[in-house]
Amino acid sequence: MWFNLLAMKHKFNNVSLVGKFQSADGTETVLELARFLRERGIEPWIEQGTAGDIGKAVDGFVTATYEEVADKADLVVVVGGDGTLLGAARRLGERAVPLVGVNLGRLGFLTDLSRVNACQKLGEILDGHYQAESRVMLDAEVMRDGSRIFHTLALNDVVVNRGELGRMIELELTVDDVFVYHLRSDGMIVATPTGSTAYALAANGPILHPGVGGVALVPLCPHALTARPITLPDSCRIEIVLMPPHDARIHFDGVTYCDIRAGDLLRIVRSSLEVRLLHPEGYGYFAMLREKLHWGAAVLRP
């Protein structure tokens, strides 16, 4: 079942706030939520980097490092866009701290609380009126000459691209030790269902419902037009080798990257860790898609 409607709602004693850096709207919203939580009898923690960005206005509130938040928080409220939530999810993933997103961005596929009613909806969540779900993550490592040189997690996607080159790169794709093909292209996106509505969607990849146990492989501008997106079971082990002579770069959720050279191997499997998201009651995945992708919008006629 995609949604995990908890039989016993969790009591949130420690709530932490994470905000988008260098954002006036984010600063105002974080402080508004902090005051609201205090009125509810909850002394909020404000993540250290967020507090430093806000400045003296946070005086009187507790500040905490990400490590302290991960160790103690029952709930983390992320104020910003999907990118802000992705960054928080990656840093808190090992502790599976529940996340609630307040959208200040343009789309907000993950941050579904509006800034306008954020306090009201957060209050409802604190009262136990919410829907909880888990989103899968990818575990990615880069191998060079048999040794690991990079390792990280990704909630959205892992993207191999040509970096600063002005020409195509060549990749060898293997799935569960079975050779699939050599691909000449600008790169490859490996996306979770969460990431299927991000970069992969812009590259004509499929939209994967979060309840689907799949991973989308989406070639970027392939030389052979028959190289089409494909969805694999998320139990697969995906390996991509960069072929000579060019170097390339791998991006993970658009947050961090690793420069690679010919012969390096990227190995991707489903992580044992998951990200827990809380939505207000009444949240619907298809309603969200209709809103964000403007499905069913009236056609303008001359």
Residue 85's nearest CA partner among 254, 284, 288 is 254
Asked whether 69 and 47 are in contact (CB, 8 A), the reply is: yes
* Cα angle 259-224-220, degrees, rounded to a multiple of 5: 35
Using CA atoms, how far apart are residues 155 and 278, in angstroms rounded to an integer?
16
Whether 82 sits among the annotated catalytic residues: the reply is yes
Which of 53, 82, 112, 234 is catalytic? The answer is: 82
In this structure, the number of other CB atoms found within 10 A of the CB of residue 280 comes to 18
Residue 253's nearest CA partner among 199, 175, 172 is 199
Residues belonging to the active site = 82
